[in-house]
Chain A
Amino acid sequence: MNTNDWLLRVERLTKIYGEPNDHSLRQTGPDFNTNQCPDTGAIVACADVSFTLHPGEVLGIVGESGSGKSTVVKQLYFDLEATGGTTYLRQYQGGEENMLTASSQQKRYLRNHLMGMVYQNPRDGLNFRFSSGGNIAEKLLMAGTFHVGRIRDRASDLLHATEVPTVRMDEQPATFSGGMQQRVQIAKAIANNPPLLFLDEVTTGLDVSVQAKVLDMIRQLQRELNIAMIVVSHDLSVIRMLTDRTLVMKNGHIVEQGLTDQILQDPQHPYTQLLVSSLL
């Protein structure tokens, strides 16, 4: 793969809660099996996370709960403010400006035009007081489409693509099943054709048959629209099904990265070996 052809570059992304001291980063991590600084009690949620994402690539982040994998994508989507580090997006200022220091208007533009996010809980990504069509309309309105007819056409196309019955477009997502809510959320996230999509534990909490359907749909959308994705999951089968490349995280650090097949067939780090061997 051409290394100049990148979409997203993340360098030394760090998030610390509480008050760290100079030793906090050195005293936490997988080698110490803790996130908490023994001196100050500060929690190092993720530390020195660096990676590059290529256009159309699907990157998995896997790890146990508390390993900092969600923290990484939430910082990239500006839901959480990063403590340190830099991120660059090819489409933003030619990839030369750090996104984390952008103004809140610029961040809103980035969120609306260049990124999409699908949360584990549909309540985080959808406004349950609006209809599902209205939720998609919100994204389109933020990107400057002020034509009801065109909004409705686009919304019904998106719902069709995500296999939500379009006749239920004007109903509130609260009346939908969990799987349908998740698909509405995906439709909303891809409404403005973003080049980059974050999926944070999308199938957790869905039953197995619905899980398979949602994963199938994500894979199909990825093939058709060629969206780059970052898939966060603790479930190795989701990672295996969706991703090309995988980062393994533990205690806020990346402990291993490589092609997904390679990681699953020949894990190097003891934690990854444990993870793979405990796969049912």
Chain B
Amino acid sequence: MIENKKFSRSFNYAFIDESTKKEIRRKLLKAICIPGYQVPYSSPEMPIARGWGTGGLHITLAIIGKNAEGRPDVFKIIDQGSDASVNACNLRDFVRRTTDCETTFETHEATIIQTRHRITEEVLKAHQIMVFQVPQPEPLRSVERYERKTRQMHAEADYAKMWVSLYESYVRFGAIMRGASYPVRVNNRYVMAPSPIPRWDIPNLNNARCLYLFGAGREKRLYAVPPHTKVEPLEFEDVKFAIEDFSGRRCTLTSEKIAFLDELYQTDGSASHVVNDSDFLDKLQQQGRPPQWENPYLAQKQQSLTN
């Protein structure tokens, strides 16, 4: 048997071969240049099935290495706000083993944060990149089933059907019933699916200092929201977007009121609430409140609490 002595590993750094990583980086550059536009990309085979976070993983592996100051990247991954869930643990382990990068639970230490369906409760800074695992990149899919049509609709900025579905939702239920993946308009142009993050996180996409990258592996699409880009939820002049209302509820562990809360059912059928973001929860319990995002919706909540 011939032993391979030339290479210390049987796979390339960060698993994907260099030319494919280059291709993904070029597509990412295009995505950043056209905020909210979905760029098709190769979506190479990974050791996990497409649709289980491959889109996010492709982006992470294509950009990981050294950051702008020449220091190695520090990787954090969360799944529904938690560092400890199965999807997060396995992907973290995979990225660490294929890149030898440092991993962390600390939001402020990380340079790349891969996420499934949450934005961290702690505010992100200019040197940080958030990578979303996106199941359905096409915001218009619920109103138009054909890709050919939706691409044409995006090209012509024809979003009437999207608006009608919001109107219909309001007429039928008295509110726009979109808990997650609330459609947003990016840079006054493209309507974008913000991956199924809760409405709570939507305002944090607007004019952020960090870079947001979105990868949908199964659908083979990349898109991005560059720093300081206008991102606005679709809303009517008289029916406005609103974030989740947790008024009258608080975290049972920390008494925190201004954070996205998980609802936990007890054996007696009652519900209690816990802060969803695990790192934010740890910080609240151990060393005090880390700097949170600032947006008009949170400010309103804070104001109503102080009054």
Q: Is the CB of A138 within 8 A of B164?
A: yes
Number of residues from A at the complex interface, CB < 8 A = 20
- Binary CB contact string for chain A from 130 to 163 against chain B (1 if under 8 A, 0 otherwise): 1101110110011000111101100000000000
Q: Is the CB of B156 within 8 A of A141?
A: no
In this assembly, does B297 line the interface, its C-beta being within 8 Å of a C-beta of chain A?
A: no
Contacts of B170 in A (CB 8 A): 148
Contacts of A277 in B (CB 8 A): none
- Binary CB contact string for chain B from 145 to 158 against chain A (1 if under 8 A, 0 otherwise): 00000001000101
In this assembly, does B125 line the interface, its C-beta being within 8 Å of a C-beta of chain A?
A: no
Q: Is the CB of B236 within 8 A of A147?
A: yes
Q: What's the nearest-Cβ distance from chain A to residue B153, in Å?
A: 10
Q: What's the nearest-Cβ distance from chain B to residue A209, in Å?
A: 32
Contacts of A105 in B (CB 8 A): 156
Q: Is the CB of B167 within 8 A of A134?
A: yes
Assembly CA distance A189 to B230 (angstroms): 35
The 8 Å CB contact of B168, one of A131, A146, A149, is: A131
**What is the chain B residue whose CB lies nearest that of A139?**
B160
Q: Is the CB of A148 within 8 A of B158?
A: no
Contacts of A170 in B (CB 8 A): 171-172
Contacts of A133 in B (CB 8 A): 171
Given contacts A131-B168, A170-B171, are A147 and B237 in contact (CB under 8 A)? yes
Assembly CA distance A105 to B154 (angstroms): 12
Given contacts A105-B156, A138-B160, A141-B164, are A146 and B171 in contact (CB under 8 A)? no
In this assembly, does A74 line the interface, its C-beta being within 8 Å of a C-beta of chain B?
A: no
In this assembly, does A104 line the interface, its C-beta being within 8 Å of a C-beta of chain B?
A: yes
Given contacts A134-B171, A170-B172, are A148 and B164 in contact (CB under 8 A)? no
Q: Is the CB of A141 within 8 A of B237?
A: no
Assembly CA distance A130 to B144 (angstroms): 13
Q: What's the nearest-Cβ distance from chain B to residue A103, in Å?
A: 9
In this assembly, does A108 line the interface, its C-beta being within 8 Å of a C-beta of chain B?
A: yes
Assembly CA distance A87 to B237 (angstroms): 37
Assembly CA distance A194 to B171 (angstroms): 26
Q: Is the CB of A131 within 8 A of B160?
A: no
The 8 Å CB contact of A141, one of B152, B167, B238, B239, is: B167
Q: Is the CB of B171 within 8 A of A131?
A: yes
Contacts of A146 in B (CB 8 A): 163, 236-237
Q: Is the CB of A104 within 8 A of B164?
A: no
Assembly CA distance A131 to B168 (angstroms): 7
Interface residues of A (CB under 8 A from B): 104-105, 108, 127, 130-131, 133-135, 137-138, 141-142, 146-149, 151-152, 170
Known interface pairs A130-B168, A133-B171, A134-B164; 10 further A-B residue pairs with C-beta atoms within 8 A, sorted by A's residue number: A105-B156, A108-B156, A131-B168, A135-B164, A146-B163, A147-B238, A148-B167, A148-B170, A149-B238, A151-B167
Interface residues of B (CB under 8 A from A): 152, 156, 158, 160-161, 163-165, 167-168, 170-172, 236-239
State the 9 A-B residue pairs at the shortest beta-carbon distance, nearest first: A147-B237, A142-B160, A141-B163, A138-B164, A134-B168, A141-B160, A148-B236, A137-B167, A148-B239
